[in-house]
Structure formats: structure tokens, C-alpha cells
Structure 1
Amino acid sequence: MTAPSATSPVSRFLEGHLRRDAQAREVSVARFMAGLSGASVVVAAALGGLIGWGLTQSLMGLSAVLCVYYTVLWRVLRSGVFHPAVPWLNVAIEVSIPAVVLAFDLRFQGPIYALTAPTLVIWPTLITLATLRSNPRLALAAGFIVAAEYLGIYLLFVRPLLPDNPLITLTPGFIATRAFFFVAAGVFTAILARHFLQLTRGALSALREQEVMGKYVLHERIGAGGMAEVYRATYCPEGGFQKAVALKRILPAFTDNEEFVTLFRQEAELCSSLNHPNIVQVFDLGRHGGTYFLAMEFVDGLPLSGVLRALARRPLPVAAATYAAAELGAALDYLHRRTGPDGQPLRLVHRDVNPPNVLVSRFGDVKLSDFGIARGAALAQLTLAGSVRGKLGYMAPEQALGRSFDGRADLFALGLTFHEMLTGRRTLQATTDEALMRAAVDQQLEPPSRFNPEVPPALDAIVMGLLEKDPARRTATGAQLRGQLLALQGPAAPFPQGQALLAQVARDAQEQARRATMAREEADQVPTSQKLTARA
């Protein structure tokens, strides 16, 4: 398998993960170094009789300073404060500790002891420790810092104090050789760190291949419900062809739920037969890894519910709302008029028209999705006594009462959604599910101009025609609704400005959602770091 390139999604994911995890690693290092420094105070005190009290006191002071520094750093990092320069500063401090010890040895024990003291053995270990930061440049820098410090102390302070004919191991040639080995240790650890990263990239790439559902490579999750989740994915068969899709799969815990699997398969079978620009198309249905999935058209945008949420109870621009409603009217008209292979009407009913099931792209495209409970009108009745299919708060009165209904129930749901687009508020409101169902039947609905003075009387009449409680008086078809909307004049007309206005609102909402996601990820770093530190 070819190693992923430095610009591949795997490499970018790994680099991003290492950056996010840097704080957790430094917390662990700071805690370890604080404990080690505290123990060194005790060890230095125990060696006082062997190395002299002057050197002992210096070593105890150095250990105490390091203990205080790393303790403070540990507390600061745990509080959530972090800067990318912290690993570089810590590596510089860690590899410089033997240099300070060497200076103490030189001051109290003389040059020969300083250059042969056992503490110098720690230097290569500290260079290797830099590898734990998973940054080859840090390991390389550690090697060069140690070599520079060692040579600098020798040339400036040790060599002038050596006798004329010192031991051969103390001559400049041998000292330069040791410095070279320090640099070599840095190069070696940098290669080791780089090799580790390459192995990790390879492992992640192999893991991603295991996450391919047939010919679909999963990316980030873009939606989830109680029983299914949706991923952005890439359809990538052999030959280099790629296509962005949305892949919806049943959560593993519900693969044995026969009723839900049946609805899932019905959605795929129905949508695969639908071909309309305002309906999300389904390309494929399959089973992989013990769960079912279906591949759908990917809409680069947000659900209408997300767009309305970003507006914070403010209405859509009127032209944007009429444009969206006209597009949905066209989708429902196509669905309701759909015929079978024999030419007989299928009398399909979506049964779940509401803002979460309307997708708005960043280009202003409007698409109806989630046909999981769509059925023929003859079968679209109560499944169990006392239960109904559909989203509470967007049901037609006849649907909420469990009576026979047809495509006009979808138009009532569209009317509620349209009303919400124009007002920025839910049309049917109640505190309990039972009250919501009663509201669909009993609540007196007010025209959208009551909450938005920019709505003209002609548009009020169109919306209220959709919201007639009696199906016989309600707007009969999606085509009729679209015709009424296209007849509007002035600022409320869906064309020519409606799509551009809706696209701008969708892009703003998408950017707001992206920033909120980034803020949540940054906020999650602190508790994640604390959790990792507790496990270390």
C-alpha cells in the first residue's frame, strides 16, 4: 500500500489530531518532570557526603526550581491555557539541564570531573525524550542544542582549566566527536519520529479502507437521528472516478429492528424511482459490516431547520421563502402525480414534510428528503392503534386524527413550514406531544403578516389556503401552489431574486455552523486533555 502523501486527508487528519493533542502530552510531561525534579531534591541531598555540600546545594536548588516550574506549568496547562511554543520551550529546558549540571560540576569539582561525570549520560536520553512530541523537528533541534551547549562549555570554560597534556578523551578531537554523536542522536530520533508518523499514517489509511462501505469512503458525520446516521462520503470505484454522496446507514444497534429496516428499504426503493430536481435522489442500497446503508445525492448546505436556527427567530427574506415554497410545491406535485409501470397513480404521500427534511444548498437549491415513511395513500394510515407516522407539529388535522388522508396532508405540512419561514417561529406550539396533536386540529392559525409586516395580503391568502383545516377547501395540488406563488409581484415574487437571497442566507448559516463546530472542538480540548492526563 502506498504511503499517504503529506497533503492527503489522512495526513491532514493526523496532523490536526497531533496539534490538538499537544496540550495533553505537555500536561503529562510536566507532571512527570515535576515529580522527577522533586525526587531529585531528595537524591541530591543523600549524595551530599560523597560529592560535597557545595555541589549538593546547587543540585538541590536546580531541582527545586525545576519542580516549581513544572508544577506551575502543569497547573496552567490543566486550566486550558496553551501555546504552540510550549513544546519547544520545554525541550530546550530539558536538554539544557545537563549543561547546567556540567557547569556546577566544573565550579565545585573541576574540569576532569565535569567532563566524566555520570550525569552526561542523561543527555542522549533527553534528546530521545523529544521524540514523544511526535515532531521530528523538535528531536533534531534537541540534538543541535545539546551539541552547541557541550562544545560551548568546553571551549569557553573547561579547556582553559585543563592541564597542558590532558587525557586523550578530554582533547578537542574527542569532545568534537561527542558533539557529533549528540547531533547524530538528534538526527536518529528525528528519523524515528518521522518513521512513527509514517507508520501511523499507513495504519490510519488502512483503517479508512476498512471503513469503505463497498465503494464508498466515509468522511465526517453530517447528521444523526435516533436510529440512523448520515455521513459525507465519496463514491470511488476503480478507475479514478469520484463523486461526493451522502451515505445514510442504520446504527448497528437497530439492524435487527425489522420494522425500521423495512422502512429503510422502502425509502431506498421509492427514492430510486423518483427523478426530480427538487427531490434528493437515491443511487444505491446495500449492506456492509452488518448494517444497511443507502447512498444519496449530496447537498452542500444545511437543512432548512439549521438555516432558520441560524436566523435566531428572524424570518427568511420574503422572496427567499416564496422561492423555497414554490420549489417544494413542484416536488410535491411530482410526488403526488407519480404513476406506476402500469400507468396507474401511486397516490404517494410524503407524510413528513418539515424543516429538517428540506435541504437548502449554498447555491440556493431546495430539495425534499427523507422519504422513510412515504407510502401510498391507501396504506398511509395508522400503523398501530393510537400512533401516527410523521413529525408532531407539522401534521394535517386529518393525519393527527388518524383519518384517511391524501397528498393534501403534505400541502398542509408545507403550509406550516412556509408560515415558519415567513415568521421565524413555529406555527403550532405546545408543551406536550398530545397538545401538539390537538393544536393541529383546534388551534386557530393566524396569517404570517401578523408576525411579519413585510408579508403582503396576497401571500397571506396563499399561506392560509394551505392551512385550511378542511382538506376540501385546502390548496389542492403543489402545481396550484406554485402557480399562485409565481403570480406574485414585487418584493414577494420568488423570481428573479428569491434563489440568490436564499443562497446567501444558507451560506451565512453554513459559516455560522462551521464556527460553532470549531468553537465546540476547542472547548472540548480541555476536558479531553484532563481525561488523557488522568489515564497517563
Structure 2
Amino acid sequence: MTTTHPTAVSRFLKSHLRRDSQARETSVAGYMAGLAAACLVAVGALGPYIGWGLTRALLGLVALLCVYYTVLWRALGAGWFHPIIHWLNVAIEVSIPSVVLAFDLRFQGPIYALTAPTLVIWGTLVVLAALRTQPMLALMAGGLAAGEYLLLYFFFVRPLLPEEPLLTLTPPFIIMRAVFLLSSGVATAILARHFVRKTGQALAALREQEVMGKYLLHERIGTGGMAEVYRATYCPEGGFEKQVALKRILPHFADDAGFVTLFRREAELCSTLHHPNIVQVFDLGRHANSYFLAMEYVDGLPLSTLLRVMGGRRLPLSAVTFLGAELASALDYLHRRTNRTGEPLHLVHRDLNPPNVLLSRLGEVKLSDFGIARDAARAQLTVVGTVRGKLGYMAPEQVRAEPMDGRADLFALGLTLHEAITGQRLLVGEGEAALMFAVMEQELKPPSHFRPGVSPALDAVVMRLLERNLGRRTPHSGELRQQLLQLTGEEAPYPQGQAALSLAMQEALLQLHRGSEALSPAQPSTEIDQRFQAHPG
């Protein structure tokens, strides 16, 4: 069983601890306010023994602390918080014994100041920094305590000591005490780090053991605005196991009736699609008020990630034409689907783009994410005049929210192939308005303009897909596939295209693996998080 990706757990845990910072600081403020109130009574009771001069000084300090922490406790409880309050409070807490030592020195002399029982609390206040779960705060607390102790001793206390003081009051023993204070800070930092690490491991173990019905969840491999995808094991009774991709609605969308309808619609539609180039859906279920889809698991990368990892390098042309031929086959199957009586369903994917094209390690091509696919019989699910899909890959008629057919998918495929050939998006713009203008008006230059060496034949195939005039656009996916099969030389999709695509995949996965090893927990890789599955929509 593969463990949950450590960077994902680390990010989740750090995010949770940040959200909980206010609650923890509120607890500390309440504790300190109560402790200060109790000290008011204790100091007052000790007045006859320690002298009223020292008593009044200590009562003033404790009263000030009581007021500060009470006001802070109320403010934090009312919702106010700033991260700097951690550092400020640790500095105040650790400095309290220094102020007490200064009062003792003023009213009772140096020997009492260095032997007063109040110094025992110094180490406790250093350990209190561990509640903030930040190792650096604990180190600061230990260092500040040791520094203040040594500063007070050498500059204020030692000049007032007798020429031959008690052995325990000589510099070597004072330095040893300072080292103990510093070591308490180090020990507290280790404790905080150990707590965070062990909590992260516990979360990872819990995530691995989370079972949704018959599905055992592993690491999260993709996330989108409304759903997330996990690698999971289908494990019914009898010992049978199968790797699947489990797509789950995010909790805050689970009660959205409209989105749940679309989600169920995706499951219903995809369960009827059986094609080697379409991600198959096995199951729709509900667990703990969350809907999920169990889908075919593709061990590889989305096309978008592959292109991003390759950077300035470009895919072999045979790999791109193979990709196009396989997707054309998937679209041809989709567009020609009929119902049980043989009537055409007029299915349109409507969201074909690189994140929704999955590539396996072996160079297999799978079309995924049919969340907004539609057919004529279900047209009522779409509000008239709305635009759904990824704007940078829409056909002009889709942008205008006009009736559309399979040629809208072919326009999106043309943009995807153009990007796969050139390594860069064809339609770009800042904001929706600019992208819509690009779709409708931008001059569309052929792939050879960006990548010399692309043949006129391949240029023609791609540019015909990008015709804004429906009458001149490639009419159907079957014709597109035939055009791609007629290409020759290094642009021929078969027989070398799949091998070339597989080689590019292996190199990209190796590069991602090396990159993940070099990343620190504070620098997670979104590439690695998404390396096995498509954008979940």
C-alpha cells in the first residue's frame, strides 16, 4: 500500500494548525490570566515574609499581567488575531522571571535574587512556547531566557556579590544554569517538531485507512474547484482488489442539488461509454454525505502536465499525431452514440482540453471528465444562454452559447493539437473578455509559424479544425482520423507514435520524481500531486 504523499499531508496539517492558532493562543491567554490572578493572592499572603517594598512591586507586575492577558483573552475570543501575537507573548512570558529577579535584587539583595524560588518557573514558561507548535518560538524562548539571565548576572548581580560568594553563585554555575535554560528551549523545539511530524504521520495513516464503502483511499492525485480525485483500491469481499481513481465531490458542494445532478449525470453518461480511449466509470456511490465516482485509474500524466514539464522541449510530431488519432477515435465513438432504439444521441463533450486528456506510461490516450457533456435528450439540464467549459478551448459557437454539435469538440481538439505541437497555447488573454475576444477575433496562425518543420499537410489538418466557419470546419471525427492516418514520415501516427509518446512520458515522470526528491515540505509540487490523474473538474 502506497503511503499518502508527505507534502500533501504536511500542507494540510500546517494549514490546520494555522487556522487553530487563534484558539490555542486564546487558551494560553486564559491560562496566564488565571495564573496572574492566583499570584495576586499568593504574593499578598507572602507580604509579611518578603517585605512590603518587594510585595508592592510584585503586586504591580502581577496586576499588569492579569489585566493584559484578560484583555487579550477577550479580544481573541471576540475574533481578533494577528500572527505576531505569538512572538510578543512568548517574549513577555519568558521575560517575567527577569523582571522578578530585578525586583528581588532591588529589595532583597543579590543572594536572594539568585536563589529565589520564583526562578523555578523560568523553564516552565519556556516549555509553554510548545503550545504554539512552532519550533522557532521555542528556540527563541530558550535563547531569550538564557541571555537575560546572563545579562542580569554579569552586569547587575555580580558586582553586588561578596568577594567570595557561595560556590553555586559563581560564574561557572550561573553559566550552567543559562545552558539549562537554553537546552529547555531546544528540547521544547524538538518536542514541537516531533508533535507536528507524528501528527502528520497519524493523518497519513488515517487517510490510508479511510474507507468509502468498498474503496480504500490512498493519496490525493488531483483537485479542482468542485471535486477531488484519489487513488483508491476497490476491495470487496473475497480478496479481489483493483486500482481505481475515485472522484469525490468537495464537502461544501455535497448539498448543492444542481451540482449533484451534474455529477450523477456524468456517472450515468460515462457508464454507457465503452471505448479504449475514454476513461471508464465503474460506479457511483454515496458515503458520509459525499457522492463519489469510481473511474478507471490511469497511471501517467495529464497532457497539460506533460507539456508543462517538458518546458521548452517539444513532443515528437508522431506522438502528437498519434494523440490526435486516438482522440479522434474517442470523439467519433462519442458523437455517433445512439440510444437503445438506434436514435442518435448527439453527444458533445464540450470540455476537451489538455488537463482532460490522460496519458499513461505506455503512451495510451484517454479522454476524461464528461461532467458537462450533453445530448439532445438532456438539453434541459443546461440553462439557455449559459456558457460551460474552459474558455481558452471553446469553439466560437460555444462562446456565443448557441446550439452546437460535435464540431465544437473538433475545434477544441484543434487547439489542443496546436498546443501539443508548438508547446504553447494558441489563444491567450488576461481575463474572460480577452479570452472571448481571442476565440472570436484573434488571428490563428498555423503550427509551422511557431515550429518550423511542420509539414503543410499537418498544418492543413490542424487549421481546418480551427475554422470559425462551421461549414468549412472538419465535419466529423472520422474524417479527421483518416486525414491523420494519411500523414507520412516522422509525422505518421503509426507505428512509432505511441512509442514516442511513451518515451516522452517516461522522461517527464522521471523529471517529476527527481523534482519531488529535491523539494522541501514547505515547497510542495503541484505537478507531483497531479501526476496520476486528470483534472477532476
- Identify the TM-score tier after normalising by the shorter chain: 0.5 to 0.7
- Structure 1's 38 and 450: CA in aligned 2 closer, same or farther, altered over 3 A? closer
Q: Given residue 440 of structure 2, which amino acid in structure 1 is its aligned partner? A: V
- Structure 1's 39 and 430: CA in aligned 2 closer, same or farther, altered over 3 A? closer
- The answer to whether the aligner puts 1:483 opposite 2:482 as a matched pair is yes
TM-score (norm 2): 0.65
Q: RMSD over aligned Cα, in angstroms? A: 3.8
Cα displacement string for residues 355-395 of structure 1 (whole angstroms, at most 9, x for unaligned residues): 11111122211100000011114655993454212211212
Q: Given residue 370 of structure 1, which amino acid in structure 2 is its aligned partner? A: D
Correspondence 1:302-381 to 2 at 5 A: 302-312=301-311, 314-377=313-376
Correspondence 1:399-418 to 2 at 5 A: 399-418=398-417
- Structure 1's 240 and 36: CA in aligned 2 closer, same or farther, altered over 3 A? farther
Q: How many residues align?
A: 398
Gap runs ≥5 in structure 2: 15-129, 525-537
- The answer to whether the aligner puts 1:52 opposite 2:166 as a matched pair is yes
Q: Could you tell me how far 1:236 is from its partner in structure 2?
A: 1.9
The separation in 2 between residues aligned to 1:449 and 1:277, in whole angstroms, is 31
The separation in 1 between residues aligned to 2:479 and 2:334, in whole angstroms, is 14
Check the 8 A contact 2:335/2:347 in 1, yes or no. Answer: yes
Q: Given residue 445 of structure 2, which amino acid in structure 1 is its aligned partner? A: E
Gap runs ≥5 in structure 1: 1-6, 75-89, 92-128, 136-192, 526-536
Cα displacement string for residues 10-53 of structure 1 (whole angstroms, at most 9, x for unaligned residues): 8x969x97xx999x78646644544664687679979x889824
- Structure 1's 448 and 38: CA in aligned 2 closer, same or farther, altered over 3 A? closer
TM-score (norm 1): 0.65
Give the aligned partner of residue 457 of structure 2.
Answer: 458
141, 164, 176: which one pairs with 1:62?
Answer: 176
Check the 8 A contact 1:234/1:244 in 2, yes or no. Answer: yes
The separation in 2 between residues aligned to 1:38 and 1:259, in whole angstroms, is 62
Cα displacement string for residues 181-207 of structure 1 (whole angstroms, at most 9, x for unaligned residues): xxxxxxxxxxxx9xx98x998897566
Give the aligned partner of residue 272 of structure 1.
Answer: 271
Cα displacement string for residues 387-417 of structure 1 (whole angstroms, at most 9, x for unaligned residues): 2122112122222222222111111111111
Correspondence 1:137-536 to 2 at 5 A: 205=205, 208-209=208-209, 211-312=210-311, 314-377=313-376, 383-384=382-383, 386-517=385-516, 521-524=520-523
The separation in 2 between residues aligned to 1:410 and 1:241, in whole angstroms, is 38
Using CA pairs below 8 Å that are at least 6 residues apart, which structure has the higher relative contact order? 2
- Structure 1's 131 and 322: CA in aligned 2 closer, same or farther, altered over 3 A? closer
Check the 8 A contact 2:267/2:284 in 1, yes or no. Answer: yes
Cα displacement string for residues 60-117 of structure 1 (whole angstroms, at most 9, x for unaligned residues): 13334566x769xx8xxxxxxxxxxxxxxx78xxxxxxxxxxxxxxxxxxxxxxxxxx
Q: Given residue 56 of structure 1, which amino acid in structure 2 is its aligned partner? A: T
SS in 2 for 1:342: coil
Q: Could you tell me how far 1:332 is from its partner in structure 2?
A: 0.3
Check the 8 A contact 2:346/2:376 in 1, yes or no. Answer: yes
SS in 1 for 2:421: helix
Q: Could you tell me how far 1:436 is from its partner in structure 2?
A: 2.2
Cα displacement string for residues 279-323 of structure 1 (whole angstroms, at most 9, x for unaligned residues): 001111111111111011111112111111122254322111101
- Structure 1's 9 and 460: CA in aligned 2 closer, same or farther, altered over 3 A? closer
Cα displacement string for residues 250-278 of structure 1 (whole angstroms, at most 9, x for unaligned residues): 11111122221111111111111111110
The separation in 2 between residues aligned to 1:337 and 1:250, in whole angstroms, is 30
- Structure 1's 413 and 246: CA in aligned 2 closer, same or farther, altered over 3 A? same
Q: Given residue 340 of structure 1, which amino acid in structure 2 is its aligned partner? A: N
The separation in 2 between residues aligned to 1:520 and 1:268, in whole angstroms, is 37
- Structure 1's 51 and 359: CA in aligned 2 closer, same or farther, altered over 3 A? same
The separation in 2 between residues aligned to 1:409 and 1:8, in whole angstroms, is 40
SS in 2 for 1:406: coil
The separation in 1 between residues aligned to 2:475 and 2:401, in whole angstroms, is 20
The separation in 2 between residues aligned to 1:436 and 1:133, in whole angstroms, is 48
The separation in 1 between residues aligned to 2:360 and 2:274, in whole angstroms, is 18
Give the aligned partner of residue 162 of structure 1.
Answer: none
